[in-house]
Amino acid sequence: MRRETISQSISIVHPISLSHGKNAEVWDTSGKRYIDFVGGIGVLNLGHCHPGVVEAIRDQATQLTHYAFNAAPHAPYIELMDRLTAFMPVDYPVSGMLTNSGAEAAENALKIVRGATGRTAVIAFDGAFHGRTLATLNLNGKVAPYKQKVGVLPGPVYHLPYPSADNGVTCAEALKAMDRLFSVEIDVNDVACFIIEPVQGEGGFLALDIEFAQALRRFCDENNILLIVDEIQSGFGRTGERFAFSRLGIEPDLILLGKSIAGGVPLGAVVGRKALMDNLPKGGLGGTYSGNPIACAAALATLDAMTDEHLKTWGLRQEEAIVSRYQIWCAQGLTPYLGRLTGVGAMRGIELANADGTPASKQLTQLLGLARDAGLLLMPSGKSRHIIRLLAPLTIEPAVLEEGLDILEACLKQLD
């Protein structure tokens, strides 16, 4: 519920007040139950109050609640970085740093690539979302509402079309745009890095074209440009694998982590090639709360749960349920507004579109209210706010998942 003491510039999707949750269910202060297909916007891959995470938080809170790692190292940070770097599916030596959030991870990655390359220009992509801090705003491939009224942003940053079968932009079109960029806008030798999401989150759950990803990796290698992959929303099992970049057949130079890294406790990280991570002077990286002991303990418990077998089983189960139900809806002609199914694995979006293919943004707004009233929380995405992003916990019970899809089906039928 809205309070005058809270900034009116914070947008709220669901005007309710939550009190508690368990796995994929939450309850508001009036006692009403909801099935949660939002998951804290991708933070709760292990669900609300995962027992292992809760126990780790309680145990750590009795030992050490905080110490700034820059002042004196502590065991949870050290253990987590050992585990986290081993968890990364790359073949090169890895090191990293912990941050408070995904946006802070992105900011530090920009510092790292500037230090390593001596260059400042960054290439990002249309529809991208990398955070709400001043530097990350400029990386975002969308003006409203993130860049409005904030003035000149740190740069230089350039944007290219994001190629995906989910948005109709081909690899050839994206490469042509890239050729134009370096012919007309900027010297390739001034570019420090590309930053890209393997599956766009805010952009509408668009899966990156594999051919383009491999072409981009080759182009970066040929021109001494670094490649940053943002796995903040797509990582930690959301697509059925540890990280979404694995399906692309590439290895990034730096990887941004956040959201589901610590079971709901604020934490992020930048990890990547050790030579890059070590290139800044001592003191060039760090932060007072970065790698807080309680957050580290939660992240260690999260990694304990995220075995490859679990991730594959969870992702496949959720993917099969969503895809099967979507195909049935299409065959039935459930609603004239049912558009494409986007994304991969358990990271799926359902587009709402008009008969002429234009975004059905009004109907998505209607759907949010209908579903909430029926006990299902949904989250919008896409440039026109016309794509439902499905982010139920990977650990959701099959019966609860089906119940949520039943509610979604009933509400889609009611759209007008």
pLDDT per residue as tens digits for the range 255-279: 999 999 999 999 999 999 999 999 9
pLDDT value at residue 4: 85
269 half-sphere exposure, CB direction, 13 A CA radius = 28
282 half-sphere exposure, CB direction, 13 A CA radius = 2
Return the CATH architecture of domain 53-305: 3-Layer(aba) Sandwich (3.40)
CA distance 309 to 237: 11
pLDDT per residue as tens digits for the range 205-222: 999 999 999 999 999 999
Query: For residues 165 and 236, is the Cβ–Cβ distance under 8 A?
Result: no
164, 229, 264, 126: CA torsion to nearest 10: -40
Fold agreement between 53-305 and 308-413: no
Domain limits, the chain: 53-305, 308-413
Q: 309: buried, middle or exposed (CB in 10 Å: 19+, 13-18, 0-12)?
A: exposed
Pairing, β 379-381 against β 94-99 = unpaired
3-class secondary structure, 329: helix
Instruction: Give the fold, CATH level 3, of 308-413.
Output: Aspartate Aminotransferase, domain 1 (3.90.1150)
Query: For residues 348 and 336, is the Cβ–Cβ distance under 8 A?
Result: no
Question: Number of H helices and number of E strands within the chain?
Answer: 12, 17
pLDDT per residue as tens digits for the range 29-51: 999 999 999 999 999 999 999 99
pLDDT per residue as tens digits for the range 84-141: 999 999 999 999 999 999 999 999 999 999 999 999 999 999 999 898 877 777 676 5
pLDDT per residue as tens digits for the range 317-367: 999 999 999 999 999 999 999 999 999 999 999 999 999 999 999 999 999
CA distance 127 to 17: 30
